[in-house]
Structure 1
Amino acid sequence: MSSRILIVGLNYAPEHTGIAPYTAGMARALREDGWDVEVVTGLPHYPQWQVHEGYPREDGPLEVIDGVPVRRIPHPVPHDAGQLRRLGMEIVFGLRAARAPWGKPDVVVVITPALFASAIVRVRAALARTPVLVWVQDIYTAGLSETGAAGGLVTRVMRAVEGAFLRSCNGVVVIHDRFSDYLRRHMGVAGERITTVRNWTHIAEAPTVDTAALRQRFGWGPEDVVVLHTGNMGAKQDLPNVAAAAQIAERRGAPLRFVLVGGGHQRPQLEELAATTPRFEVLPSVDNDTYAGLLRAADILLVNERAGLKEMCVPSKLTSYFTAERPVLAAVEAEGPSASELAAADAGIRVAPGDPEALVDGALRLHEEWVATGDTVHRGGRRYVREVLSRGAAVRSFVSALGKLRPGLVAEDRAPATVNS
């Protein structure tokens, strides 16, 4: 009989950016490999911070997504993603997820940075003496500190809370070795409890969308050098810096066109900037096929981070960018994990964050190199994805982490789930 794995996380499919694709992808992969996997999750709302159409705010029937049984937990969704409102959403989700039907899982997997929801779920699991594996996609208190969202005292208290929670879990999965180092140095988590499981790309290598038609559809001319940023539009992305770069490009007469695709709580502000800023535009989130096509329709793919971010995250968009085989421009700190990923993949260049002049200069230089070499430089991304960031490697590492918690866990061949399975 297959071992039962219960995954509890706030974000899941059909959200197609951020954490959700990795949680959903791992659940599907484990189910396909014979594990008895079920998911307890929230209402799909990210990155728009609005509940997706068709999802009621009360308990609904059990879903099956790609063969995985999924139970939706209703919760409030804050319209502006402020810290206190997000905290309220997390607590409500955590309390309701802890009261939801679980059955008797062999292991409970919780997903952070929904720290408080995960901590509440951890309490129920402890009462049932069920081992808990926490999957750390972002370091909660590093984010508070580096974005300035909380003062020094609050950050220190929160770091103590986060550290206590992580140490209480039976195992910890992180998405980068930099996270592992941080948890050992600042949170006191024992190294033998930590497993690195790299995120993988969730887009097709060969999209079915006509990229030339996409450029025409969005009004991008052959003379436009499109610099594309995708995903969340929040504080840590510092996207007003990109709008400022567009203003500089306009003054210089440079052919750069800066395009943002996605959603987030800063989107209204950015749309206002786009209305008055030539060479700067904001597009809504798109489906996966269109997204994959846009990555290849652009000339340069952009990662833009707030100055000072050195520990808190590895942008999930990088894995998709690398697969697209377009040069990547990263306005990030040299000491951060985004810069190290870019260098390891040999997929682009880095410029200083928070400097729109450097962003314009970097985009022009990168495009000139790309054209001058016949598209032969900065093409290591796809190789890096296949060798380091493959889903198969991630699943093997994740199964290894599960085995550390409870030796003897087994998978077996099983039919896809149905609502009644």
Structure 2
Amino acid sequence: MNVLFLMIISPEIKRNPNLYTELMEEFREKGHKVYVAAIEEKKNGRQTRITEESGIKILHIRTGNMFNVNPIEKGLTTLSLGRLFKKGLKQYFKHIKFDLVMMPTPPITFADAMNFIKKRDNAKAYLILRDIFPQNARDIGLLKNEILFKYFRNKEKKMYRVADYIGCMSQGNIDYVLKHNPEVQGNKLELLPNWSRVETPIETEGSVDYKKKYGLEGKFVCIFGGNIGWPQELEFLLELAKSVRDRADIIFLIVGKGITKPKIEKIIADEAINNVIMKDFLPKEDYDGLVNQCDVGLINLDRRFTIPNIPSKTTGYFKASVPVLASVDASTDYGKVLENARAGLWSITGDLEQYKRNLLELADNPDRAKQMGINGRKYLEKYLTVKDAYNTVIKHFK
């Protein structure tokens, strides 16, 4: 089959693999021809062009700026994506007949491009639902304009209409979509949990001690890696850090960038929270190695969410056999996922007492914490591999 992925970020297949690049490679390895259309932000200074990496053709479509910009600029770019992607696909992929077009969310405005390919090529459309917008933006105060909300809500509904199949992260996602969109046919929706490529863990003598390299030797390290933005409410993580200041052995390491990072850094400085370390960036090899040697992987979600989020970084923690400490909203079924895997502890964002109890349970019971990490790895190997994701999608074409 000819398979097209519509992507919000240009894939770096070898340098910066993620769940989508892994799925692209899985399709390629199974003999399919894989193509990608992806955003090329104008701030990068490059025009629309085609590149090829690992046998996958990538169409980089010049758009407005999307990341680390104010909400207005981000919104205007989002509104333009359907039009710009249709134009790019018409011009650069006009001689290719696609059998399957796959579209992860965000953003929902790719739906017009997905519908264009579906109609032009009589292709099937598979929606990888990772983000329920615009409700998630309304929940955390980023979308207050009712007219805009209704506009994006109509786009969301169109996206569900266009999709032949909708892969959801959890049962909570399926239930939410059906409850709030009763016109959607239930047989369109299926479980497609976040996935990861699983390699055999390699332990070698003389391997790098990343804790020592980054000055964390002898510490119980809780790591958060990824976007530092409104959805994470890392202010509450700082409350946890302050509550265990008396524990000199516990350190919180936050690695990443995002729109709220300056605010988090200011709180740390103003309140002298000396058990939190922030880093902009680590080389991928160092970050992956450090996660493997850390003691806890952190998951944080804003308490205001009414939609069920399942953070994708969870599979990275499972892969590294690291137990999870989660602080999540009351609407998500993430806690059930964690309990099913027996891979960590969770509490509701805002419940500092339980959050602290969970942290100390992991810190003071290393054998239990280690077993939770092992459980996460086993759960990943059994249910959450890229092969599982591929088989979920491809069964519709057998």
- TM-score interval, smaller chain: 0.7 to 0.9
Contiguous gaps of at least 5 residues in structure 1: 408-421
Deviation at 1:218, TM superposition (A): 1.4
CA RMSD, aligned part only?
2.9
Q: Is the 8 A contact 1:73 1:93 kept in 2?
A: no
Q: Among 39, 47, 53, which residue is 1:58 paired with?
A: 47
Question: Residue 165 of structure 1 corresponds to which residue in structure 2?
Answer: 159
1:38 aligns with 2:35: yes
Question: Residue 272 of structure 1 corresponds to which residue in structure 2?
Answer: 266
Distance 1:333 1:93, change over 3 A: closer
Q: Is the 8 A contact 1:309 1:333 kept in 2?
A: yes
1:392 aligns with 2:387: yes
Q: Among 130, 144, 152, which residue is 2:122 paired with?
A: 130
Question: How far apart, in 2, do the equivalents of 1:215 and 1:12 lie?
Answer: 32
Question: How far apart, in 2, do the equivalents of 1:14 and 1:287 lie?
Answer: 14
Q: Is the 8 A contact 1:310 1:335 kept in 2?
A: yes
Aligned runs of 1:15-414 on 2, under 5 Å?
21-43=18-40, 56-60=45-49, 62-78=50-66, 80-100=68-88, 101-102=92-93, 103-116=96-109, 118-125=110-117, 128=120, 130-131=122-123, 132-151=125-144, 153=146, 155=149, 158-187=152-181, 188-202=183-197, 204=199, 206=201, 213-222=209-218, 224-250=219-245, 252-275=246-269, 276-333=272-329, 335-371=331-367, 373=368, 375-377=370-372, 379-401=374-396, 403=397
Question: How far apart, in 2, do the equivalents of 1:317 and 1:183 lie?
Answer: 23
Question: How far apart, in 2, do the equivalents of 1:205 and 1:289 lie?
Answer: 16
Question: How far apart, in 2, do the equivalents of 1:351 and 1:283 lie?
Answer: 26
Q: Is the 8 A contact 2:197 2:385 kept in 1?
A: no
Distance 1:104 1:304, change over 3 A: same
Count of matched residue positions in the alignment of Structure 1 and Structure 2: 387
Contiguous gaps of at least 5 residues in structure 2: none
Deviation at 1:356, TM superposition (A): 4.2
Deviation at 1:202, TM superposition (A): 4.4
Deviation at 1:249, TM superposition (A): 2.1
Secondary structure of 2:62's counterpart equals coil
Q: Is the 8 A contact 2:169 2:193 kept in 1?
A: yes
Q: Is the 8 A contact 1:231 1:262 kept in 2?
A: yes
Deviation at 1:386, TM superposition (A): 1.0
| Amino acid of the structure 1 residue aligned with 2:234 | L
Q: Is the 8 A contact 1:303 1:330 kept in 2?
A: yes
* Structure 1 residues 235-292: Cα deviation after superposition (integer angstroms, max 9, x where no partner): 1110111122222222x34532111112221222223334442111111233433222
Q: Is the 8 A contact 2:322 2:372 kept in 1?
A: no
Question: Residue 11 of structure 1 corresponds to which residue in structure 2?
Answer: 9
Question: How far apart, in 1, do the equivalents of 2:80 and 2:15 lie?
Answer: 23
Distance 1:309 1:254, change over 3 A: farther
Secondary structure of 1:228's counterpart equals strand
Question: How far apart, in 2, do the equivalents of 1:56 and 1:14 lie?
Answer: 18
* Structure 1 residues 322-351: Cα deviation after superposition (integer angstroms, max 9, x where no partner): 121122111113552321111111011112
Secondary structure of 1:295's counterpart equals helix
Secondary structure of 2:363's counterpart equals helix
Q: Is the 8 A contact 1:63 1:69 kept in 2?
A: yes
Deviation at 1:129, TM superposition (A): 5.3
Question: Residue 418 of structure 1 corresponds to which residue in structure 2?
Answer: none
Distance 1:73 1:367, change over 3 A: same
